[in-house]
């Protein structure tokens, strides 16, 4: 049997890492535009300034001090500003995706292209027109858009003037934005994802959060993406509650505009294993997994599960639900579960990191190889997670991110032999096939991450490449932006052509 005939093969991107054109045609500033480049020694950071002129920096996932505003500094490099310039290369890129045989392309809309400040009364027509051109180009090539409404995109103005998602007003601003794009593209887009990786969002970067606890941010350790200092976690959970209410209300608005819309919730769901069969490792891993599943439980079951309070208790947090919230969550669940899967994490009772939820940290796994960035490579884990998620939700699953960040070498003749990437993708596609054939799990599609090279979210590097199409651009923005086909391009083209039969 193998993959279903209508299986959606494709690739995935996000505006903040791919589009560039950060100030063109009326686009407003997003927090993503304020994040510097980075590397192993110097993590990415955001500069801020108080009205009295004092300045400082925060890392990804941290909150900005109350009263400060994120700023752009001269002499620093900001990778989102040009990124790999989809803004000016969309025709060429879509043609290349079509050549590979893509049935679907995942991309995100930039909120500040449509509402430059986030709270504007009227949308920016030039921003809307850009995505019309993009979707038209895709449809001409028979490529279905899968659109993420919010992918690590936070209008700076909404963070500064409202305190970001901690403020319930954000629900209305998001809905105005979502309804605008639903209406505008109702005949062009069918598949939507309301929020990217809701379970790893945090801090100023993605939620626009500020508070006093972060005011000595300079003296704090820097946090990884998705990690939040304990003192701020309460704020984070409240903000994420608002985001989930907004997501449910977007589902409602979408079905009124077009009942055929398919609405996806999206989580980072790389898997988690216990380090040993010690009962504390086993239960610890189980409890750790719940920190991610908490969010899909709310978005699919329509209510906070029993164990939510035990997670909140770790932070002394009490959720504030307003009248109507419970009914909204119950009435408008998502249609399908989209998720990213890159790796698995090992939970060990001695060195457990208790704050992250997407499976990013953890003890080493002696049975698995890792990428150059230390991410364990685990195709079998994908079959496990597909089963885990279908058992729990009985909703169609869509793997909307998967892949291996790796350094590529361009040979003298211009070819790029990325056999390591082919091996990674082959293993994972095989695992999906097993989940479909042997376990009878319904999978809608597969869109490997960064199908064309884009900026890494976590490190800000270009060197951490995921693409099957190479883009000539380096970590500091030098390069011609010329596109070339890697070996994996031809390999994936054949995979799609044979509907996953020949790997």
Residues near ligand P53 (CB under 6 A), total: 20
Return the SS3 of 19.
Answer: coil
CB 218 within 8 A of CB 47: no
Q: Output the smallest distance, CB 358 to ligand P53, in A.
A: 4
Which residues, numbered 323-342, are part of the site for ligand P53 (CB under 6 A)?
340, 342
DSSP state of 322: P
The nearer residue to ligand P53, 8 or 200, going by C-beta atoms, is 200
Segment lying near ligand P53 (by CB under 6 A), choices 113-121, 194-202, 275-283, 423-431: 194-202
User: Using CB under 6 A, which of 145, 271, 358, 445 touches ligand P53?
Assistant: 358
The nearer residue to ligand P53, 152 or 295, going by C-beta atoms, is 152
Instruction: Tell me the per-residue interface mask from 389 to 418 with ligand P53, x by CB under 6 A, - otherwise.
Output: ------------x---x-------------
Report how far Cα 374 is from the mean position of its chain's Cα atoms. Answer: 19
Tokens coding 420: 């390591």
Segment lying near ligand P53 (by CB under 6 A), choices 162-170, 187-195, 295-303, 457-465: 457-465
Tokens coding 133: 């051109």
SS (H, E, C) 43-63: CCEEEEECCCCCEEEEECCCC
CB 202 within 8 A of CB 228: yes
Which residues, numbered 22-81, are part of the site for ligand P53 (CB under 6 A)?
none
Q: Which of 19, 62, 144, 197 is catalytic?
A: 197
The nearer residue to ligand P53, 14 or 416, going by C-beta atoms, is 14
Q: Which of 19, 227, 232, 401 is catalytic?
A: 401
Q: Output the smallest distance, CB 450 to ligand P53, in A.
A: 7
Annotated catalytic residue 197: yes
Determine how many CB atoms are found less than 10 A away from the CB of residue 216.
10
- Per CB under 6 A, 360 contacts ligand P53: yes
Q: Output the smallest distance, CB 138 to ligand P53, in A.
A: 20
* Angle (CA) 385 466 369, round 5°: 55
Greatest Cα pair distance, the chain, in angstroms, is: 67
Which residues, numbered 204-243, are part of the site for ligand P53 (CB under 6 A)?
225
Task: For 329-368, give one letter per residue: b (16+ CB within 10 A) or e.
Answer: beebbbbbbbbbbbbbbbbbbeebeebbbbbbbbbebeeb
The residues near 502 (Cβ < 8 Å, ≥ 6 apart) are 494, 495
Tokens coding 215: 């005011």
Name the residue whose CB lies closest to ligand P53: 458
Tokens coding 304: 């906070």
- Per CB under 6 A, 196 contacts ligand P53: yes
SS (H, E, C) 469-486: EEECCCCCCCCCCCEEEC
Return the SS3 of 295.
Answer: helix
Tokens 């505009």 belong to 257
Instruction: Tell me the per-residue interface mask from 129 to 158 with ligand P53, x by CB under 6 A, - otherwise.
Output: -----------------------x------
Q: Output the smallest distance, CB 161 to ligand P53, in A.
A: 26
- Helix 125-140 × helix 169-184 angle, to 10°: 50
Q: Output the smallest distance, CB 239 to ligand P53, in A.
A: 18
Q: Is 149 exposed, middle or buried (0-12, 13-18, 19+ CB in 10 A)?
A: buried
User: Using CB under 6 A, which of 113, 464, 465, 486 touches ligand P53?
Assistant: 464
Closest CA to 331 of 244, 252, 241, 264: 252
Q: Output the smallest distance, CB 351 to ligand P53, in A.
A: 19
Annotated catalytic residue 19: no
CB 79 within 8 A of CB 122: no
- Per CB under 6 A, 247 contacts ligand P53: no
- Per CB under 6 A, 449 contacts ligand P53: yes
Q: Output the smallest distance, CB 342 to ligand P53, in A.
A: 6
- Per CB under 6 A, 458 contacts ligand P53: yes
Q: Output the smallest distance, CB 1 to ligand P53, in A.
A: 31
Tokens 């929020």 belong to 195
- Per CB under 6 A, 84 contacts ligand P53: no
The nearer residue to ligand P53, 329 or 377, going by C-beta atoms, is 377
- Per CB under 6 A, 127 contacts ligand P53: no
**Residues that are catalytic:** 197, 401
- Contacts with ligand P53, residue ranges (CB under 6 A): 14, 17, 152, 196-197, 200, 225, 268, 340, 342, 358, 360, 401, 405, 449, 456-459, 464
């Amino acid at each position: 049997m193998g993959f279903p005939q209508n299986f959606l093969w494709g690739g995935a991107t996000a505006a903040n890492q791919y589009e560039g054109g950060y100030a063109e045609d009326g686009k407003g500033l997003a927090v993503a535009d304020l994040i510097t480049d980075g590397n192993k020694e110097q993590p990415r950071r955001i500069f801020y300034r108080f009205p009295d002129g004092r300045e400082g920096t925060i890392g990804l996932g941290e909150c900005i001090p109350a009263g400060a505003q994120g700023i752009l500094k001269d002499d620093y490099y900001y990778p989102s500003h040009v990124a790999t310039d989809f803004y000016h290369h969309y025709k060429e890129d879509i043609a290349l995706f079509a050549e590979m045989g893509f049935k679907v392309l995942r991309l995100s809309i930039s909120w500040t292209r449509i509402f430059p400040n986030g709270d504007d009364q009227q949308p920016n027509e030039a921003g809307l027109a850009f995505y019309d051109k993009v979707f038209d180009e895709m449809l001409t090539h028979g490529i279905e858009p899968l659109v993420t409404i919010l992918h690590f995109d936070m209008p700076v103005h909404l963070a500064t003037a409202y305190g970001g998602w901690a403020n319930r007003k954000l629900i209305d601003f998001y809905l105005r934005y979502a309804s605008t794009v639903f209406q505008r593209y109702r005949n062009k887009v069918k598949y939507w994802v309301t929020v990217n990786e809701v379970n790893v969002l945090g801090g100023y970067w993605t939620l626009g959060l500020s508070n006093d606890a972060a005011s000595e941010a300079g003296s704090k350790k820097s946090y990884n993406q998705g990690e939040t200092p304990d003192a701020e976690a309460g704020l984070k959970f409240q903000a994420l509650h608002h985001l989930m209410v907004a997501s449910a209300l977007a589902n409602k608005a979408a079905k009124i505009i077009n009942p055929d819309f398919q609405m996806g919730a999206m989580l980072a769901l790389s898997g988690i294993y216990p380090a040993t069969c010690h009962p504390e490792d086993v239960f610890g891993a189980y409890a750790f997994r719940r920190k991610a599943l908490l969010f899909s439980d709310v978005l699919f079951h329509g209510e906070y599960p029993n164990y939510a309070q035990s997670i909140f208790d770790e932070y002394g947090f009490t959720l504030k639900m307003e009248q109507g919230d419970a009914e909204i969550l119950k009435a408008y669940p998502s249609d399908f579960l989209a998720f990213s899967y890159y790796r698995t994490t090992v939970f060990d009772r001695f060195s457990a990191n208790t704050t992250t939820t997407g499976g990013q940290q953890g003890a080493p796994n002696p049975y698995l190889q890792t990428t150059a960035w230390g991410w364990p490579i685990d195709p079998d884990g994908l079959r496990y997670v597909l089963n885990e998620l279908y058992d729990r939700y009985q909703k169609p699953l869509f793997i909307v991110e998967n892949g291996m960040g790796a350094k590529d070498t361009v040979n003298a003749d211009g070819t790029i032999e990325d056999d390591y990437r082919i091996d990674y993708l082959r293993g994972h596609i095989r695992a999906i096939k097993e989940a479909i054939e042997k376990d009878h799990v319904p999978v809608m599609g597969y869109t490997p991450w960064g199908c064309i090279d884009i900026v890494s979210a976590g490190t800000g590097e270009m060197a951490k490449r995921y693409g099957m199409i190479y883009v000539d651009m380096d970590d500091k923005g030098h390069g011609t932006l010329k596109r070339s086909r890697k070996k994996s391009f031809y390999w994936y083209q054949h995979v799609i052509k044979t509907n996953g039969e020949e790997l």
